[in-house]
Structure 1
């Protein structure tokens, strides 16, 4: 791996950010500084933490940042369920599948890095 930009999970998480921004565009204006902002920040956190961890060039630190990204995925999943229950938007299968795919990719990358460490 040369940089974080070489990681498929980083590339897909960048796409997720765009998807989340588009998904939240229709949320009520009253949520702009509430749920909308929170979901967007959690989405941006995923590729940002992957990038920061990869830049550390220390496997143990990289894993810690990947766990933060994994936490952000769980946060988004929860917030989308809340937004759906509030009637702000319906979660489409494609978005849910993308979130789950990134979650699995993060788990697999963490596992591989841990195995590499010994």
Structure 2
């Protein structure tokens, strides 16, 4: 027995992505715990949460709307990554890896949205 969203590759990848973000924010300064760290974690977790919530909807249009929220959350993650890099909390290699993961996940989600229409 499983939920429909558990079989979706975009959900599986977004779950991994959220855990990667959770790992890197542990190295951020303590004064960022309620600011950038929190924002970055909430945005990255929102990607998977919206995919799962949308998959329960009865119509493809509703699911499509929730997938759009996931894409917006990824844009938010990217902005937070830029902030983290500018503030010296992550290096270029970490930024590049997570940026690429964000970009790939966004493209996969957009392609899935298009397929649902």
TM-score for the superposition, normalised by structure 1? 0.92
Counterpart of 2:63 in structure 1 is 62
* CA–CA distance in structure 2, aligned partners of residues 20 and 66 of structure 1: 20
Counterpart of 1:73 in structure 2 is 74
Q: Quote the offset at 1:52 in angstroms.
A: 0.4
What's the CA shift string for 1:21-71, capped at 9, x where partnerless? 001111000000000000000011000000000011310100000000000
The aligned length equals 113
What's the CA shift string for 1:54-95, capped at 9, x where partnerless? 011310100000000000000000110011101111252332
Correspondence 1:20 to 2:21: yes
On the 8 A contact 2:81/2:99 being kept in 1, the answer is: no
Please list every run of at least 4 consecutive aligned residues from structure 1 whose deviation after the TM superposition is greater than 6 angstroms.
Answer: none
Q: 5+ residue gaps in structure 1?
A: none
Q: Quote the offset at 1:97 in angstroms.
A: 1.7
Counterpart of 1:113 in structure 2 is 116
TM-score for the superposition, normalised by structure 2? 0.92
